[in-house]
Structure 1
Amino acid sequence: GLAAVYCGGNLVGFTPIGPVTSGSGPPFRWLTFALYVVWVTGAALVALAFGARQRTRRREALAQQQEERALTTDALARERARMARDLHDVVAHHVSLIAVRAESAPYQYPDLDDDARAVLADVARDAREALGELREALNVLRRTDDDASVARRPQPTAHDVDGLVADARAAGQDVRVVGEWSHVPDAAGYVLFRALQEALTNARRHAPG
């Protein structure tokens, strides 16, 4: 449109070599118009081709990055599955053995008193709970972004803290609770439960009695 206006009148174009016109005025300068159109069209096509090439390169780079991320994710998923199998083979074997021995001890030693039988029953129950938490951890390790069908059991909350304290006391720990809590959100309750669980474990391990 600008070329048509320029070539059809006496408009002056200011260039580095000075002011110029398309001619001396009417009639319409078809040759000049055609040259302008060819030049502008060529410049536009070159710019479009350059932009298309740049976009193609960006798409190729993005596709390569996505492929690399997919390969990395697949490798991590395979490693997590291998770790889950190893944990199951090693830890679950020994924990289940503890549970079986604790449950079978009263039958192998019928002279055990009631207190010993109660302690062995608590040991077997703790071992079964440990197996349940181990299976939960293994399910998380086996999960991928596309595998959301793996069932997960409910996570502990602040309501389970009292049971955790009771189990510690039953195991012989001197646990005193100071203060109280109520209406703790599930996420904060989960952190509270795990923190207390770790603290009691460290106390049993490093400061018995």
Structure 2
Amino acid sequence: MPKYPPQVTQRFHGTPEQVAAGRVGAPPARWDSIVIEPYDPAWAQRFAAARAGLHEALGDLVVDVAHVGSTSVPGLDAKPIVDIDLLLPATEPESGYLPALEGLGYRLVLREPWWYGHRMLVSAAEDINLHVWPQDAPEPIRHRLFRDWLRAHPDDRDLYASAKRRIARDTVAHPGDYNLAKNDVIDAIYARIFAATD
């Protein structure tokens, strides 16, 4: 594996305050509870349909579209919400792409210029999290490395699944804490990923 620069190997940890400050409008209803389900092959089909719609709506503006997150790893238990990384030349100004995404039924819920210009939208059914990044952002590289590592390393896939189920139980009263509570296990897996590149 290639050796990656610090901007890729040093993972950014947002704070609850930063996430709260980035919220746009009402949070998705699915943020009120964490439900972990067994892997469903239909998640890949949902991604394929969404990818086609994004290409049709945005055309040559699309640099890349990737299925990331737990639903992109066969055999991994996950929240039944498909995460998609959409890479564009830039995320500002939003007027260049947001109206087209809204035309597909997506709704902007996070605006995080401090996190590499990240924007997050949810589909009308709230079953897709669409992450919009500028093409040079390091976070999508990490997403793909994590996805590909879990696909190729079933022990870490199972470790991550077990941790997610435990954390979902532990944060049932405070579901907003779920993502931040996964950082320890995610960072441990990233340490193995990047150790393999040395």
TM-score by length of 2: 0.23
Name whichever structure is richer in strand by fraction: 2
Between Structure 1 and Structure 2, whose CA radius of gyration is higher?
A: 1
TM-score by length of 1: 0.22
